Structure 1
């Protein structure tokens, strides 16, 4: 398993993910994206220095994405997000891919802190984030709307000094 930069050829897989309600509910986003919109967004953001999008690549197959979003070079922090394709879940890829994303954030971008948001009900994700060293920093009550209701979300953070590969 490797992570590599997202390329235009990957958009067909992103399209599939971003239109799956159960997948986008985990990111608290509406499952509504056209391939045309994805291509426009790709072209618009391909040179954007405030984000990095990586494909989780397993034997040259698209297995998901890891994203560093809202990269702040002044305060040296960023948000991390991950989606593992359903056919690759349960194989430990999420933890490995997150670790590689964190390594990039801390060792390449020199971020001081990486944070994420996770639904308080997403026990599997919380377990992985805890294993990686993330700490719950707070609970945002009814902060995100997905699947017809408001969800509480933990904000979790990891400092560079606490990161171990």
Structure 2
């Protein structure tokens, strides 16, 4: 499994993810986006230093995406997001890709903190995030509207020194 920078040729795969209702419900986004709109967004953000988008591949096959968003170089923090397509779920790829995204944030971008938001009812995701060292810092009530109702969200964070301790223990 590897991650690499998102390329224009990946957009049809991203388009499928962005229009998959169940997946977008967990990203708290509307599952509605045209390929033309996605291409325009890609062109607009290709040089945006406040985000990094990576494709997850296994044997040259598209598995999903991991993104670093809202990269703040003053406060040295960013949000991380991940999606694994249905075909590849349950194989440990989300954990591995998430760890690579975290590593990039801390070791390449020199972030102090990586954070994320997750639906409190998305237990598989919460499990993966905890396994990677994220700590629940709080619960945000009725934070997102998805599938006709409001959802509570955990705000989870991982500090660089916590990451370093985890990596030390894995050696």
> Do both share a fold (TM > 0.5)?
yes
Query: Do residues 66 (structure 1) and 66 (structure 2) align?
Result: yes
1:52 maps to what in 2?
52
- Give every structure 1 segment of 4 or more consecutive aligned residues whose post-TM-superposition deviation is greater than 3 Å: none
What is the CA distance between 1:68 and its match in structure 2?
0.1
SS at 1:29's partner residue? coil
Mapping for residues 80-159 of structure 1, pairs under 5 Å = 80-159=80-159
What is the CA distance between 1:129 and its match in structure 2?
0.5
What is the CA distance between 1:91 and its match in structure 2?
0.3
Partners in 1 of 2:127 and 2:53 — Cα distance?
23
Partners in 2 of 1:120 and 1:37 — Cα distance?
30
TM-score, normalised to structure 2's length?
Answer: 0.96
RMSD (Å), alpha carbons: 0.5
1:37 maps to what in 2?
37
SS at 1:138's partner residue? strand
SS at 1:140's partner residue? strand
Q: Which runs of 5+ in 1 are unaligned?
A: none
SS at 2:49's partner residue? coil
What is the CA distance between 1:98 and its match in structure 2?
0.2
